[in-house]
């Protein structure tokens, strides 16, 4: 039977024209809506070919793709028209995009001009900025899901494993994504946010700049590299790349989410700055230059100003001003004046009188607002610094030192193994029945050799032999077979 004879005549209101692609669970057709004379791509899932145990989850995920992309009307996102079911087929009707996958360009090692690469990445970030604002995290950003049109513009598609903020279909503990583009938190099965998508964009940017993936190898090797190694800077692999891009890429693919760009707009600004030869903007410090100078003083000096200076007399202080340090001068002057009254040294008395005149005049000018704002600020700030700095510097360092020492000692004696399985939720234990955890899991062992057993209801029990080296992080992925 020919391919065309197997085509369904229609799906919903769409007349089927041809097959666009085919996968394990369904077929993508080109359909035509005669009512508005518009072509559409029809992505289908055949219910009858699904494994009975997985059918519910697959169909829920498929419908979620329609829900996720259906709320995203953006020029760089493939539009979804509708979701439907007919007999044993579920389908999503979406925008028919004429273009090639970015993956095709990378596979053929076709180089992009730097400005064109930045343009593509900017459009990906624009799409993600919009989707993240709508509460949708894609979770599978990769070149195969980015379509480059003849105009050079892109469309982001395939929200099949996207997480919607209001959805509970995917819980923490489920590992999803494409390994070379997955973030560390995805490998760990942790709940992800938009910063995971930005990690994936950082990997794509690295490919644009170098024609190489930053993380390659087997699944376990990729997992280990993603979680533990820092790739070589792009400018070291491609001498034509300005070094400004190195900092942008390394920040995008940082291991910890809080060390990455916190949103797509921040990533975009840094990328565009690198293109014109400027460094990325660093987050502003909480203290200004004057504050920083005062923090550099000793804690005792700062404490003395805050604790010894009495407030100025209420009658002499303007309501909107606070001048604790200024009244410290009259206080010391009174003490000197008192001692000079008992002294027989006429020179000292004259000096004291002169000092009183100078201080009195200075105090009068100060009350009249003659001193500029910066001088007043420099006097007041130590009081603020004292409250924050003194307890930390004086009291806490002994505890901190002990903690750091203890942590380093632990790091040296033990080793860590990151365990993932297909499916997830597998019990990991020793051959003697000692429970270690449930996958995905980060397990810590003393150096040595171990035999692990992996068990889950409905699957064949599997064993693995591992060797743990001190201070080393390793990755292990196991696939369990379904019991017949």
User: The domain containing residue 13 runs over which residues?
Assistant: 1-96
230: buried, middle or exposed (CB in 10 Å: 19+, 13-18, 0-12)? exposed
Instruction: Count CB-CB contacts under 10 A for residue 225.
Output: 18
**Residues of the chain above pLDDT 90, percent:** 31
pLDDT by residue (tens digit) across 237-268? Answer: 999 999 999 999 999 999 999 999 999 999 99
Token couple for 295: 């923090």
Instruction: State whether 78 and 132 are in the same domain.
Output: no
Instruction: State whether 234 and 323 are in the same domain.
Output: no
Instruction: State whether 72 and 199 are in the same domain.
Output: no
Does a structural domain hold residue 15? Answer: yes
**Residues of the chain above pLDDT 70, percent:** 67
pTM assigned to the model: 0.58
Around 118, how many Cα atoms within 13 Å sit in the side-chain half-sphere?
A: 17
Longest Cα separation, the chain: 125
Does a structural domain hold residue 88? Answer: yes
Does a structural domain hold residue 403? Answer: no
Instruction: State whether 53 and 109 are in the same domain.
Output: no
Does a structural domain hold residue 218? Answer: yes
CATH of the domain at 199: 1.10.510.10
Instruction: State whether 212 and 166 are in the same domain.
Output: yes
Spacing of C-alpha 153 from chain mean position? 26
Task: Give the pLDDT confidence score for residue 323 in this predicted structure.
Answer: 39
443-450 long-range contacts (CB < 8 A, ≥24 apart) are: 443/416, 443/417, 443/418, 443/419, 444/414, 444/415, 444/416, 445/414, 445/415, 445/416, 445/417, 446/413, 446/414, 446/415, 447/413, 447/414, 447/415
By annotation, the residues acting in catalysis are 140
Instruction: State whether 159 and 246 are in the same domain.
Output: yes
Token couple for 147: 């379509």
pLDDT by residue (tens digit) across 176-225? Answer: 457 899 999 998 888 889 999 999 999 999 999 999 999 999 888 999 99
Instruction: State whether 226 and 259 are in the same domain.
Output: yes
Instruction: State whether 153 and 276 are in the same domain.
Output: yes
pLDDT by residue (tens digit) across 336-378? Answer: 333 433 444 445 444 444 545 444 544 443 444 433 433 333 3
């Amino acid at each position: 039977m020919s391919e065309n004879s197997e085509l369904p005549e229609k799906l919903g209101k769409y007349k089927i024209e041809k097959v666009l692609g085919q996968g394990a669970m369904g077929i993508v057709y080109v359909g035509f809506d005669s009512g508005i004379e518009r072509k559409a791509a029809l992505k289908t899932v055949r219910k009858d070919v699904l494994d009975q145990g997985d059918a519910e989850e697959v169909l829920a995920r498929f419908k979620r793709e329609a829900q996720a992309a259906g709320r995203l009307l953006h020029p760089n996102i493939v539009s979804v028209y509708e979701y439907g079911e007919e007999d044993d087929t579920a389908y999503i009707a979406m925008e028919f995009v004429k273009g090639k996958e970015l993956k095709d360009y990378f596979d053929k090692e076709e180089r992009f001009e730097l400005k064109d690469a930045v343009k593509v990445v900017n459009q990906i970030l624009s799409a993600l900025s919009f989707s993240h604002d709508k509460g949708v995290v894609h979770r599978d950003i990769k070149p195969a899901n980015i379509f480059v049109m003849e105009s050079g513009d892109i469309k982001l598609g395939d929200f099949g494993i996207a997480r919607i903020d209001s959805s509970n279909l995917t819980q923490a503990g489920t590992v999803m994504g494409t390994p070379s583009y997955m973030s560390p938190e995805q490998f760990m099965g942790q709940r992800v946010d938009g910063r995971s998508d930005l990690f994936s964009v950082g990997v794509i940017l690295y490919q644009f700049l170098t024609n190489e993936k930053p993380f390659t190898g087997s699944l376990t090797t990729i997992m280990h590299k993603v979680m533990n190694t820092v790739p070589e800077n792009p400018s070291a692999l491609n001498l034509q790349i300005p070094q400004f891009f190195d900092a942008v890429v390394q920040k995008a693919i940082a291991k910890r989410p809080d060390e990455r760009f916190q949103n797509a707009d921040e990533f975009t600004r840094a990328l565009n700055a690198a293109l014109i030869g400027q460094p990325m903007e660093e987050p502003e410090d909480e203290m200004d230059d004057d504050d920083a100078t005062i923090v550099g003083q000793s804690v005792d000096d700062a404490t003395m100003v805050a604790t010894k200076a009495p407030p100025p007399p209420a009658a002499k202080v303007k309501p909107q001003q606070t001048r604790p340090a200024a009244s410290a001068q009259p206080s010391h002057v009174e003490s000197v004046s008192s001692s000079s009254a008992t002294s027989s040294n006429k020179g000292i008395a004259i000096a004291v009188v002169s000092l009183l005149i100078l201080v009195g005049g200075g105090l009068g000018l100060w009350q009249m607002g003659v001193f500029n704002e910066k001088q007043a600020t420099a006097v007041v700030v130590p009081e603020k610094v004292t409250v924050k700095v003194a307890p930390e510097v004086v009291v806490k360092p002994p505890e901190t030192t002990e903690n750091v020492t203890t942590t380093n000692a632990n790091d040296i004696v033990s080793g860590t193994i990151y365990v993932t399985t297909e499916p997830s939720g597998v019990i990991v234990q020793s051959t003697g029945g000692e429970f270690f955890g449930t996958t995905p899991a980060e397990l810590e062992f003393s150096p040595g050799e171990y035999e692990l057993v992996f068990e889950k209801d409905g699957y064949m029990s599997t064993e693995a032999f591992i060797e743990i080296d001190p201070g080393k992080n390793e990755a292990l992925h196991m696939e369990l077979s379904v019991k017949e």
